[in-house]
Amino acid sequence: MENNAESPSIRLVAVLEIGSTGIRLLVAEITGKGEWRSVDSAVKPVVLGRDVFTSGQVSHSSLLECLAVLRNFQELLKGWGVASGDVHLIATSALRAARNREMFADRVYQETGYRLAIVEGIEENRLMYLAARFALKEIKGSSGVPPTDGTSANAPSGDKNETNNLFWRGNSIIIDIGGGSTEIMLLRQGRMVAAHSVRLGSILMDQQSMYARGSEWSRERYLTEGIKNTLTFLKAEMDLSQIKTFVVTGSDTRIAASLIGSEYNKNSSVIDREKFLFFVKKIQYYTVEECVQKLHITYGDAEGFVPGLLIYKAFLEQTKAAQVVALGVSLREGLLIDLAMGFDPELQEEFFTQIIASAINLGRKYHFDEAHGRHVAALSMILFDALVREHGLNRHDRLLLEIAALLHDIGMFICGSGHQRHSQYIVANSEIFGIHREELEIIANVVRYHRGEQPSSEDIAFIALQREERIVALKLVSILRVADALDRGHSQRIQTIVIEHKNESIVIHTNGAIDRNLERASLEEKANMFQDVFGYKVALA
């Protein structure tokens, strides 16, 4: 076997994903240009999801089964010449929910040397967005998204160029249904409205049916109750009836597309809405055995096939989408794209834009003062950029500050008195696209201290941060308090500021001949923390 890994411009990497129903392998070549090509893939069924969703943990027999599969894949990867450091082992909802996930990960490491990363739901969303972006990438100026206005998906390329860019400009939903969770992203005119990971999955639905002796009534009840709750908060963020592009991922829809869909490009297919609904209605009472026999699919694929399609159907019926766009990529491709791209400033800024859009929509959900939030964020960015030498923080820290500035008053939705604590609670218990749980905790602490007392050793939430995270939070809070003071009346009177370093002070020059007494008084009250952290007094010129 030729070992392409010897080429200085090409390296082989592998992604191993431990899912609810199987362990899946993807091997790819990554070039120095940020491009990649799949060279091998494999899947071995496991019953991890049924274990966890029944007993709450991975059984001993399932652990041994997983280890055996991983050892087999390890031998395959040695044959390919993939270095152990280029093997990325990840796990999703089943292991996220397992009580013994740490012991499972330790045993895997002891047996294989692979370190297991359990992917959070919000990170799963990010990687799926990457995969969707890749699959629906622009083709000759077009979005690569199939038309939903009745135009044939097999139309000449010129017709594709004339179609509206519905995914990036219209309202879209991206859904990935797994065994134990469903990842959902809502986009309004191409901007991220919300990203959620909800406990709703095909294996869970089957478990409900088993508890009720397989009755269809139990499956319908699970669907009705589970999706009803999910739809309630989704509709608060976007009118689902306005969604025109329905994008789905996962093996269930890839199989459905191979049976009743048509290829759009090498990474995606389309299924007519009515054809999809008719197909699901036709097979909804099929047993696993009937799926294998009548649809000619493997037993592993058949296990969650019907429940998964029923969930997709329930969401599709809430939209006006004329077609189902089935992606031929997955979480694994998303991770490969992430690895291949490395640090790409353009891609990073695009992601940051989507993250900010998600944060703004969280604020709108709680009726925040958007004008004030945006203005304080803009002032915070000016201060951050002017004080790089003093704070030494990076671009990602700047993003955390921008989110905190936008949402610092979100707690006013609950009560004006002590709203900083309410802001902390809302942020800490929300989801923002692209933001990890640890980062969300930093943001929650920053909004908590944008006014009032400074952090103390008695604040459990602040002390729970790592030492480095506490330092970052203190610096961001100090900047936010100054920016917030400059819009004390929520009137955006101070439009622009210029920062001057003068001896041991930071002097803020503002625009126009306006009365600044209110802002000056507020700055005197809030700037003490900035002086404690950075050692500079802050004065308004």
Domains of the chain are 4-118 (3.30.420.40), 121-338 (3.30.420.150), 343-540 (1.10.3210.10)
**Residue 39: its H or E element:** strand 36-45
Residue 219 predicted with pLDDT over 90: no
The model's confidence at residue 218, banded by pLDDT at 50, 70 and 90, is low
Q: What is the pLDDT of residue 33?
A: 66
Contacts of residue 92, Cβ cutoff 8 Å, sequence gap at least 6? 17, 18, 19, 20, 118, 119, 124, 178, 180, 181, 331
On whether the pTM is more than 0.85, the answer is: no
In terms of DSSP bridges, do strands 268-272 and 323-327 run parallel, antiparallel, or are they unpaired?
A: antiparallel
Q: Is 182 left (phi over 0), alpha (psi -120 to 50) or beta?
A: beta
Q: How many CB atoms lie within 10 A of CB 438?
A: 11
Question: Is 517 buried (19+), middle (13-18) or exposed (0-12) by CB count in 10 A?
Answer: exposed
Residue 242: HSE in the Cβ half-sphere, 13 Å Cα cutoff: 13
Residue 146 pLDDT level (bands cut at 50, 70, 90) = very low
Per-residue confidence (pLDDT) for residue 217, from 0 to 100: 61
Taking the C-alpha atoms of residue 237 and residue 357, their distance in angstroms, rounded to an integer, is 12
How many residues belong to the chain? 541
pLDDT 10s digits, 78-127: 999 999 999 999 999 899 999 999 999 999 999 999 999 999 888 999 99
CB 21 within 8 A of CB 28: no
Q: In angstroms, rounded to a whole number, what is the distance separating the alpha carbons of residues 422 and 417?
A: 9
Tokens of 319: 């939209």
What are the strands of the beta sheet with 245-249, ordered from one edge?
Answer: 191-198, 182-188, 172-177, 245-249, 323-327, 268-272, 262-265
Range name among 53-67, 240-254, 297-311 with the lowest pLDDT average: 297-311
Q: What is the pLDDT of residues 326-350, one digit of tens each?
A: 999 999 999 998 888 776 777 788 8
pLDDT above 60 for 156: no
pLDDT beyond 70 at 277: yes
Phi and psi at residue 476, to the nearest 5°: -70, -40
Contact predicate 365/188, CB 8 Å = no
CB 334 within 8 A of CB 351: no
73's tokens? 């894949």
User: What SS3 class is residue 35?
Assistant: coil
Coil, strand or helix: which one is 43?
strand
Q: Where are the beta strands (DSSP E) in 490-541?
A: 497-502, 505-510, 537-540
User: By three-state DSSP, how is residue 314 classified?
Assistant: helix
Q: How far apart are CA 483 and CA 523, in angstroms?
A: 9
What is the band of 208 on the pLDDT scale with cuts at 50, 70, 90?
low
What's the pLDDT score for residue 170? 82
- DSSP class of residue 114 equals P
Tell me 189's DSSP state: T
